A and B are shown apart, each in its own frame.
Chain A
Amino acid sequence: MAVVSRGFGARRREQDPALPPGQYLTTDFPVLSAGPTPHLHAGEWELEVRTETGARRTWSWEELLALPQEDVRTDIHCVTRWSKLGTRWRGVAVDTLLEGVETTAAFTTVHCYGGYTTNVPLADLVDGKAWIATEFEGAPLPDEHGGPARLLVPHLYFWKSAKWVRGLVLTETDEPGFWERNGYHLYGDPWREQRYW
């Protein structure tokens, strides 16, 4: 077996408690995408919320920016093992978009420009847990990081924070999205290392 080296081990360091199991702290912001970056003009951009009955509500870019905005400082954790602590975002709380929406649905499917989808329980998008983010670190969200707007749901693995978000559809059953159909966990809690099926 391995050779023990005399006197080694006194200076070992504990894992940073802010990091979920199996994660690394990264100093930059890696890009992770399932496909190419869609390019959108502000004039063609639209965000939709649709309930399980088909009732729709939409916002243009200007209408989205006219809603109450929040500043968020949070940690994000990618399933490919990098984490960034203390990232700063600005956007509209999903709670704001759902004000007055009547639903009995417990789940959502998130749709994006370019065709990406992911699924998130409705309870994980409300009560201050999620935003439609349009700014990152004080500047407009770059294209390759999901600009002009992405979903931000930082308490789950970052593949759930769908880039180029187009709409939230409320569903009565939990419908696996793109990565969830391809081996990734339906829920995706980093603190329970729910990476894969």
Chain B
Amino acid sequence: MTGPHPPRPGAGTPAGRPPVDGNAAAGLLGEVLAVEVTTAVAECRGCGAHAPLAQAVVEVDAAGALVRCRGCTRTLLTVLHVPGGVRLEVGCLAALTGAAPTGGAPGAGG
């Protein structure tokens, strides 16, 4: 069984900081997806895992976010800032199932 390799010495540069999770990509993904992103369940075509996007391994940088399956590390999708908008590149994401966002205001239900 091989898992992720430990960070190399010198990988502690800003771009090499440890990945975060799908919570951090909620705002950017919300520019291109209308469902509530953190609870949306992603199915990985590589390993078949189903998990909320909040649990995906996410690397965020000035260019955008790399969203990878926590189970097998394959890239599910990449979302990037491009001139005039946002570009979503689909990798191994087989399916995404999400709920329409409800209001964030308290008492708004759901």
Contact = CB atoms under 8 A, between A and B. Distances in A.
Classify A-B as touching or not with yes or no (CB < 8 A): yes
Interface of A: 13, 16, 19, 22, 24-33, 78, 80-82, 85-86, 137, 142, 144-145
Question: Chain B, interface size: which category?
Answer: 20 to 34
Contact of A31 (B16, B18, B46): B46
B39 interface: no
A24 B63 CA distance: 9
The dominant DSSP class at the B interface is loop
Interface string B67-98: 01000111100101000000001011000000
Nearest to B7: A27
Nearest to B77: A80
B22 to A, nearest CB: 16
A81 B66 contact: yes
A13 B72 CA distance: 31
Contacts of B16: 25-27
A25 B78 contact: no
A33 B63 CA distance: 24
A22 B5 contact: no
A28 B73 contact: yes
The dominant DSSP class at the A interface is loop
Contact of B5 (A29, A33, A81, A82): A29
A16 B13 contact: yes
A66 to B, nearest CB: 26
B104 interface: no
Contacts of A81: 66, 75, 78
B14 A13 contact: yes
B102 interface: no
Nearest to B47: A31
A80 B4 contact: no
B75 A80 contact: yes
B91 A27 contact: no
